Amino acid sequence: MLFDFGEIEPKERYKLLVSTITPRPIAWVVSQNSQGVLNAAPFSFFNAFSGDPPVIGIGMGSHSPGRPKDSRVNIQETGQFVVNLVSEECAQLMNVTAIEFDYGVNELEQAALTTVQSTHVKPPRIAESPVAFECELIQIVELGTSSGLLLGRVLAMHIRDDAVIDPGKHYVDTPKLKLIARMHGANWYAKTSDLFKMDRIPVDDWKRDHDRP
């Protein structure tokens, strides 16, 4: 079935995109305004876009026309933020921080989360989260009148000790992190425990097996 995005409403386009581009990892963002008031919120328009430089991107919308998400306001003000990843154990706590509180409400307190001081940026990370990235803002790409893509450079990252197999080789036990991801509809999530392995095919193997030069 064809859905022509020129002929349907923004809400319907959104519905179609988020019902199909799944699973999406969740950036659990901690930011701080210039007065030091903390803020936390989840964003699943999120991914990594480059290893060198190490760049992540987050799509942030608005609560209502002219009222951008508090996370964006803070990051625009200070240029710093921490992206925490969400494990199965953190799911309910993450959900509390997604409540549409007024600006200035510290969602970390509301969810009784523990913070740990960062090493390179002012906003702290979330102790309950198994992975955290300390980031500085590179730029905000404006998307229409109510959304923006925030690009951040990762300055340092933290991984829960028991999930690091070999620090020297930078081997991580990813399944042990039990990260969750956003699925379709408003409230569906995925666990990352249903895995399969598929090796890449070297081009020479492909040519040999298919008798091509």
Ligand X SMILES: Cc1cc2nc3c(=O)[nH]c(=O)nc-3n(C[C@H](O)[C@H](O)[C@H](O)COP(=O)(O)O)c2cc1C
Whichever of 10 and 167 has its CB closer to ligand X, that residue is: 10
Contact status: 129 vs ligand X (CB under 6 A): no
Give the nearer residue to ligand X in terms of CB position, either 17 or 165: 17
Q: Is 182 in the site for ligand X (CB under 6 A)?
A: yes
Closest CA to 38 of 120, 88, 108: 108
Total number of residues binding ligand X (CB under 6 A)? 16
Footprint of ligand X on 45-74 (CB under 6 A): 45, 59-61, 69-71
Say whether residue 43 binds ligand X (CB under 6 A).
yes
| Minimal distance, residue 133 CB to ligand X, in Å | 16
| List 32, 38, 39, 130, residue binding ligand X (CB under 6 A) | 39
Q: Which of 100, 109, 142, 173 binds ligand X (CB under 6 A)?
A: 100
Q: What residues make contact with ligand X under the rule CB under 6 A? A: 26, 39, 41-45, 59-61, 69-71, 98, 100, 182
